[in-house]
Amino acid sequence: MNVLFIEDDRMNRRVVRDMLDVAGARMEEAESAEIGLARINAEDFDMILVDLRMPGMDGLTAIGHIRARGDAKGKVPIIVVTADRAVDLRERCLAAGADDVIFKPVAMDALFEAMGRLLASDGDDLI
């Protein structure tokens, strides 16, 4: 499995990379939404994790750009990874095109559970 994590905080990327290593998944990193969108153009990913609050383009805007694609890359499952706990956050993320939302600090079981649900709904094997 090839996962892209769009996240400006290096430590958060490292923590999630360590978790995905346990599952045997490969994680590519993008420290901004703009870099993430460029990586999506250049590579194929099975899943995208995206933070909401980043300098420059925010995560919801990035999700909108991904979903606006007219190709298979625009349909890749997206999980928002955020510290934001706003009451309507989940609804806003889903309305923007995210498939799920998990909260920081990221717990391995929450990450794997969300990924497993999305992969199962696509008919793929669980990690």
Does residue 124 sit in helix, strand or coil? coil
Number of Cβ atoms within 10 Å of the Cβ of 112: 17
Spatial distance between the Cα atoms of 59 and 53, rounded to a whole number of angstroms? 6
Number of Cβ atoms within 10 Å of the Cβ of 10: 10
Predicted local confidence at residue 120, as pLDDT: 87
Beta bridge partners of 49: 5, 79
Predicted local confidence at residue 91, as pLDDT: 96
Does residue 61 sit in helix, strand or coil? helix
Task: With CA atoms as reference, report the closest residue to 48 among 57, 59, 124, 107.
Answer: 59
Spatial distance between the Cα atoms of 43 and 86, rounded to a whole number of angstroms? 33
The answer to whether residues 3 and 48 touch, using CB atoms and an 8 Å cutoff, is yes
> What global pTM score does this model have?
0.94
* pLDDT higher than threshold 50 for residue 79: yes
Beta bridge partners of 48: 4, 78
Does residue 9 sit in helix, strand or coil? coil
Predicted local confidence at residue 55, as pLDDT: 94
